[in-house]
Amino acid sequence: MAVVTANGKDVEVDEEGYLTDLNTWDEDIAKVLADQDKLELTESHWEVIHFLREYYNEYQIAPAVRVLTKAIGKKLGPEKGNSKYLYELFPYGPAKQACRFAGLPKPTGCI
C-alpha cells in the first residue's frame, strides 16, 4: 500500500491515490495530494473541500454535482454556483479530484 507523507506523518492511500481512511486527513495532507496534481490550494478550493467533508460526515457520500453547485452558489454568490467554476478549480472534475483532496473515497459508477 502506498503512503503520502505530510509533516512527517505517513498516511495510507489506495492505488488511485485516495486516502484509505477518512480520519487520517488533515489540511497538510490535502496540500500534498494537491501538489501531486500540481495544484495550489486557494481559499476557493478550501471552501469546496470543507463542504465536501461536512456533507460526507452527514450522508456518507460525496454530494451530487447539483447539491455542490447550489451550496457553493449560496456561499460564494450565484456566479460561482455552477460546474464550470468547479472545473476551473478542479480541472480533473470536482467529483473525483476534489474528493481525493478532501480525503473522501472515490465516487464509483457511471460517472
Partner 1 sequence: MAAFDVPPFRPYPIIPELKPDAMKKDGPFIAKPDHQEALGFPGKLVDNWQEKAIEKMGDLLKRFRSFQVYMDACVKCGACTDKCHYFIGTSDPKNMPVARQDLLRQVYRRYFTFAGKYFPKLVGAKDLTREILDEWYNYYHQCSQCRRCSVFCPYGIDTAEISMAAREIMDSIGHGQKYCNEIIAKVYKIGNNLGLPEPALRDTLEGLEEDILDATGVAVRLPIDEEGVDVLLVTPSADFFAEPHVDGLVGYAKVFHQAGISWTISSYASEAANFSMFIGSYENMRKIALRIRQAAIDLKVKRIVFGECGHAWRVAYSFLNTLAGPFDFLDPKYPVPQHICELTYDLIQRGALKLDKTANDHMKLTFHDSCNVARATRMGSMPGGQFVIPREVIKAVCNHYYDMPSDTIHDGTFCCGGGGGLLTDDLMEVRVKGALPRMEALKQVTDDHGVTHMAAICAICKSQFTKVLPYYGFRMDQIVSVHQLVSNAIVLSPPE
Q: Verify binding: residue 67, partner 1, rule CB under 8 A.
A: yes
Judged by CB under 8 A, the residue of 12, 64, 77, 88 near partner 1 is 64
Tell me which residues in 87-106 interact with partner 1 (CB under 8 A): 87, 93, 95-96
Q: Look up residue 82 and give its three cell numbers.
A: 455552477
- For residue 106, the number of C-alpha atoms closer than 13 Å in the C-beta half-sphere is 16
Q: Verify binding: residue 37, partner 1, rule CB under 8 A.
A: no
Give the number of other Cβ atoms within 10 Å of residue 104's Cβ. 23
> Coil, strand or helix: which one is 82?
coil
Q: Look up residue 56 and give its three cell numbers.
A: 460526507
Q: Verify binding: residue 42, partner 1, rule CB under 8 A.
A: no
- Per-residue HEC secondary structure of 1-43 comes to CEEEEECCEEEEECCCCCECCHHHCCHHHHHHHHHHCCCCCCH
Catalytic residue ranges: 110
If the CB atoms of residues 9 and 78 are measured against partner 1, the closer one turns out to be 78
Judged by CB under 8 A, the residue of 12, 16, 37, 54 near partner 1 is 16
If the CB atoms of residues 44 and 82 are measured against partner 1, the closer one turns out to be 82
Footprint of partner 1 on this chain (CB under 8 A)? Answer: 15-16, 58-61, 63-67, 70, 83, 87, 93, 95-96, 107-111
